[in-house]
Structure 1
Amino acid sequence: MQKEKRINSANKRAMTQIKVSVIIPVYNAEEFLADCIQSLISQTLEECEFIFVNDGSTDSSQQIIKQFQEKDHRIILINQENVGRSAARNIGIIDATGRYIGFVDSDDFVLEEMFENLYNRATEFDTDIVISNYFLGRDDKYIIKNAIFPVNILYDQNFIQKNVIPNLLEREDLFAVWNKIYKRELIISHSIVFPNEYEEDQMFNLWVFNTVSNVLFIDYAGYFYREVFNGVSKNIFKIDYFGIARQKLHVDYKKRYNLTIPYGEFEKLKAIRFIQKVFYLLFKYATAEISFSDKLKKIQIMVFDPEVNMLSKKYHKDILKNQGIFEALVLKIIKNKSVAGLYLLVLAVKLTYHPKTSEIIRNLNNFKFKKT
């Protein structure tokens, strides 16, 4: 009965020529949800629909959505048992009727002209994907994250294969789905979905970008991404992130998504990404609120892992490209298996790190490492 109601609702909305369907997965998001919803219903592009998929929330999220739904008919609420963000987004894709699809996380917010700007550029260039800049909320302030490729150029599939796909394999620059809008017809016709796996955004984008005809980067930022940790620093050891990263290292995305990139390059880019994850996890573990001895044991297992050592030696020149002082030190410790060096580095991070000084650390780290 609920499925039939959703189909009837979708057919009715399709008659109103929705331009952008915005999908918002929600799970226990009561703290920031009202801000998110208010920013959406304030959009200057009126021909939007906002599909909230309540993924089994146990807080007041459902009630908050219902309160706003009474004020704005464009809000669609879908309730389901808790099955995860990927499944929630996939339900939203099925229900969407817009010409383009966008995604917003429930603890983020957007400027009122966000979707009008993206939609206008999409129709102007008749492009499959529009990618915008965004604001990253970190340490109580926002910094702008600009496009990694020149803007206002319609890039074809040849450019995507040579530049975008390799970037998706190697770095996180293009992982996010929430600073983009995608042509719905393309997603539906190729049955593109979010896999129920870690870093599902990356895999969704690998699939989409390998399928589209063209993409457009624009010089506009309207999305505000909040880094909400919810105790992640304290609970980071409850999930084996290193094990997950190692598992992803051995997934054959080339075969799964029919990528054209040569296997040698494919394996190298995945290895670089894996070692970058080690850099990140080392820093997160070092700053976690647990005993020094416990964090050091965890870090040693990861840093002195034989596969980490082998890949660091094999691809060390490629790994250090565009990296900073911290990464250079970690790589040296890995290659030399230096227990003393690791001890001193972890101790230094523990003693010097504080959220208020993290921006200084990041700026210092921008002095890129150059081999002499």
Structure 2
Amino acid sequence: MTIIKISVIIPVYNAKDYLHDCIKSLLNQTLGDCEFIFINDGSVDNSRQIIEDYQKEDQRIILINQENKGISEARNTGVNNATGQYIGFLDNDDYLKNDFLEYLYNTAIKDDLDILISKTILGRDDKFIIKENGFEKDLIFDKAFIQNKIIPNLLRVEDLFAVWNKIYKRSFINENQVRFPGNRVIEEDNIFNIQAFNKAQKVLFTNYAGYYYREVANSKSRLIIENDYFSKALEKYYLDYKKEYDLSISATELEKLKAIRLLQRVSYLVYKCSVSITPFKTKWNYIEQMVFHEKVYELAKKYYSEALADKGLYEKIILKIILNKSQMALFLLVLSIKIGYHPKISEIIRNINNFKISKT
């Protein structure tokens, strides 16, 4: 009897433009004993037909069709049907290096890891960059380290949000009933990871990068205003993670980390709204609502220094605008971003923003 080493779960929704690259990268994997579980989440294009055509050529492809329920429920369907020793996730517009699954599986199985995290190759501004995750590589971290360092990271920043650059031991996921939340449109990955890391005993970060993340301009996840990301960021701030997921972190530390995360999210959303193709009045109203929200001002005032730790000039400008309640400064910032945005300029801004500022 063949042992399935890795189950790869791929939620699919209207992905005809990218599915071929995604599927071919799976079929070309050097690790043979895999299953590729495609969850067709109510696609209305020919995504289903594309998968069925490849399925005729390779029996490792499993297709499950369901009515549209969203990415969380699609992934949960995949987890519930997986049989592999480890579970991995692949978005339908991304693709993998040929040895991605083999490298991750061999690394994970050698030390019986609960979770293995790789680096990511980001496709951005017509170039590829390696996304670092900030943790020391090729060391097995135990529960104490996970609780003291990794859980706070998940609550404070986005570095570990994604599930697609990781593999998880399936028995560990099922024993701890780790699943995606069905009631969230965004950051469902982070909720899954908070649950998983909170129960994990053995975690390792590898220096290997083999997951190609493709930034798609018209992706539903890029629709900032339509998805009302700010309201969801507030929802996340008010969520009692400690109670909900039985976290050991203190209430005081949790509140600080969530506050920092919300302030960073506002900075990010201001930039993404500014460069979007949304009519200026619409995005201005949304940006103004975020920046001058009462709770945002309260947290900026209370956690100013903490929010700026290891951050750059752009974040400092945003926080100054929040504290000074300066509509004119905000208007000029938004206008300058909108007018000046270009992929090359965006790269320059990222480099400038890497100059760290001192705490004030």
| 1:211 matches 2:199 | yes
| 1:364 matches 2:352 | yes
Q: Which residue of 111, 132, 138 maps to 1:125?
A: 111
Residue aligning to 2:55: 69
Q: Which residue of 295, 304, 309 maps to 2:297?
A: 309
Q: Which runs of 5+ in 1 are unaligned?
A: 1-14
1:165-176, aligned counterparts within 5 Å? 165-176=151-162
Distance 2:74 2:232 in 1: 22
TM-superposition CA deviations, 1:24-79 (whole Å, max 9, x none): 01000110101000000111110111001110111111111111111111100111
1:263-282, aligned counterparts within 5 Å? 263-282=251-270
Report the AA paired with residue 134 of structure 2.
Answer: I
SS of the residue 2:199 aligns to: coil
SS of the residue 1:52 aligns to: strand
TM-superposition CA deviations, 1:251-277 (whole Å, max 9, x none): 111111100000000011001111111
8 Å Cα contact 2:28/2:98 also seen in 1: yes
8 Å Cα contact 2:133/2:160 also seen in 1: no
Distance 2:243 2:221 in 1: 35
**How far off is 1:232 after superposition?**
6.1
Residue aligning to 1:90: 76
Distance 2:285 2:67 in 1: 38
**How far off is 1:231 after superposition?**
6.4
**How far off is 1:234 after superposition?**
9.0
Distance 2:21 2:98 in 1: 12
Distance 1:214 1:268 in 2: 27
Q: Which runs of 5+ in 2 are unaligned?
A: none
| 1:32 matches 2:18 | yes
SS of the residue 1:221 aligns to: strand
8 Å Cα contact 1:21/1:51 also seen in 2: yes
CA RMSD of aligned residues (A): 1.4
Residue aligning to 2:168: 182
Distance 2:222 2:64 in 1: 32
Q: Which residue of 339, 347, 351 maps to 2:327?
A: 339
SS of the residue 1:239 aligns to: coil
Residue aligning to 2:148: 162
8 Å Cα contact 1:233/1:287 also seen in 2: no
Distance 1:90 1:217 in 2: 24
Residue aligning to 1:153: 139
Closer, same or farther: CA 231–166 of 1 in aligned 2, 3 Å: closer
TM-superposition CA deviations, 1:99-119 (whole Å, max 9, x none): 100000010000010010001
**How far off is 1:128 after superposition?**
0.8
Residue aligning to 1:4: none
**Normalized against structure 2, the TM-score is what?**
0.96
TM-superposition CA deviations, 1:117-146 (whole Å, max 9, x none): 001111112211111011011112110012
Distance 1:295 1:59 in 2: 30
Residue aligning to 1:299: 287
Closer, same or farther: CA 331–38 of 1 in aligned 2, 3 Å: same
**Normalized against structure 1, the TM-score is what?**
0.93
Closer, same or farther: CA 233–62 of 1 in aligned 2, 3 Å: closer
